Amino acid sequence: MTYTAVATPEAEARVAADLDRVVAAVRAQARDDILLAVFLVGGYARGEGAVVEGDDGALHGFNDYDFLLLFDRPPADPAGFSRLAGDLAGELSIDFVDLGLATPTDLAAARPTLFWFEVGEAHRELWRAPGCRDELPRFRVESLDPAEGSRLLVNRGMSLLWVVRRLWPDRPLDAPPAIEDVAQVRFSTIAAHKAVAASGDAALLRAGVYRVSQAARIDTLAARPDLLAWAEPGFLDAYRASAAFRREPVLDADGVGALWRAARVHHEAGFRAAERARLGRDFSGWDAHARLAAARMGEERLRRPRLLKPWVRRGFSRDAWWTGEETRFLDLARLLYHAAPESRDWVEAADRLIGEWHD
C-alpha cells in the first residue's frame, strides 16, 4: 500500500525516508522511557498523503505527518517530544509533525470517537518493540456518536476563524485579503478545504455511513442526495475539490479570499445541520441556537471522552472541543458567521478564542 495518492516512486521514496527519520528520532528521544510502538496515522496511513515541490526543487511532504507513540507509561519529559515535533517539521520541510503520546491504559480506556475510529481503521505500524502485543482499539462506525460531526466542525471552524485574523486584520471581509507570504496562502487554503470536507463528513457520521477512505465518502454522498438536503448549491463539487486538493495541492493566492468565503458558507450550513441533529430541534438563528445549547448543557452534562493526553501540539484541539462548558463553541458561531474583523471587540474576542483553542 502506498503513502501518497499520486503513488510515484519519487513521492513514495521521499515519504518513506521521512518516516524512517521520525522513527529514529523518536527512539533516540525515548532513551529514558520504554517505547512500545510507533504508528503512522492520518492521511499518509490511508494512502492519501501528498507531496509538493519545495523552493529547493525537491519533493516534500505536505501539511503534516501524524504519529501515535505507544509507551508503557507516560514519558518522563513529554515536552521533549513536543520540541522534537517542531524540530522534525523544520528538518523535513513540512508544516507539522504531530507526535501523539499514549499508553496501554489509554488504549484500554479509548471511547468510540472519530479519532480512535480512524486510527483503528487506518494505521501503519512503523516500529514495535520485541514482545509488545498491545493493539490499537477498534470501533464500528455505528458506535460513533453522531455529535462527533459537530466536534469536527468546531475544530475546522476554529481554523477558518484563524484565517480571518491572518488575512483580514482590522478590515471588513469584503476587502481584499492582506496576503504577506505563501505560508498564509497555504494555511488559508488548507483550512478552507478542510472546513468543506468536515461538513460532508459530518453528514456521513449522522447517517452512520462514514468511511475512512475519502473516495468512498465522495461516492456515498454522490449516491445519497438525501444526506445533503441541508447543503448549499455547489456543495458536492466543493467537497470533491477538497479531496482533489488533498491529493495534489495547488495554491492560488488570487483566489484564496473567494475560497474562504465559500467555505464559510458551506461550513455554516453543515454546522447548522449537525447542531440540529445534536440538539434534536431546529433553530432560527445562532442566537436561538445559543439558548438551546445552554438549556441542553443545564439539563445534561456533555460526556467528555477519554482522549489522547494533550502533550504535543494540536493533540488536544484535534480531539476535544469542550472542557465542560459550551462557551467556546457558542462564541465560534457568533464570531465566524457574523465576522466584523474591523471591530476592536471582535478582534479581542477572536484572539482570545483562538488562543484557548490553540493552547
Q: Helix/strand/coil (H, E, C) string of 166-200?
A: HHCCCCCCCCCCCCCCHHHHHHHHHHHHHHHHHHH
Mean model confidence pLDDT for the chain: 89
DSSP class of 72: S
324 has pLDDT over 50: no
Answer for the pair 205, 144: CB distance below 8 angstroms, yes or no. Answer: yes
104 has pLDDT over 70: yes
147 has pLDDT over 80: yes
Spatial CA neighbour of 311 closest among 36, 49, 73? 73
Domain 9-139 grouped into CATH 1.10.10: no
pTM given for the model: 0.89
Q: Return the pLDDT at 320.
A: 40
Percent of the chain with pLDDT over 70: 91
309 has pLDDT over 80: no
Residue intervals in the chain for CATH 3.30.460: 9-139
211 has pLDDT over 50: yes
Could you tell me the CA-to-CA distances from 186 to 148, 166, 193, 211 in Å, in that order?
A: 27, 12, 11, 27
Q: Which of 44-53, 159-168, 273-282, 299-308 has the lowest mean pLDDT?
A: 299-308
DSSP class of 248: S
More confident residue, 318 or 96: 96
Helix (H) and strand (E) counts in the chain: 13, 6
3-state secondary structure 300-347: CCCCCCCCCCCCCCCHHHHHCCCCCCCHHHHHHHHHHHCCCCCCHHHH
| Residue 143 grid coordinates | 458506535
* CA diameter of the chain: 60
User: Can you tell me the distance from the alpha carbon of 349 to that of 251, in angstroms, rounded to the nearest whole number?
Assistant: 30
Q: Return the pLDDT at 319.
A: 37
Confidence of residue 304 (pLDDT cuts 50, 70, 90): very low
Provide mean pLDDT across the span 169-190.
92
Q: Return the pLDDT at 359.
A: 64
Answer for the pair 14, 22: CB distance below 8 angstroms, yes or no. Answer: no
More confident residue, 39 or 287: 39
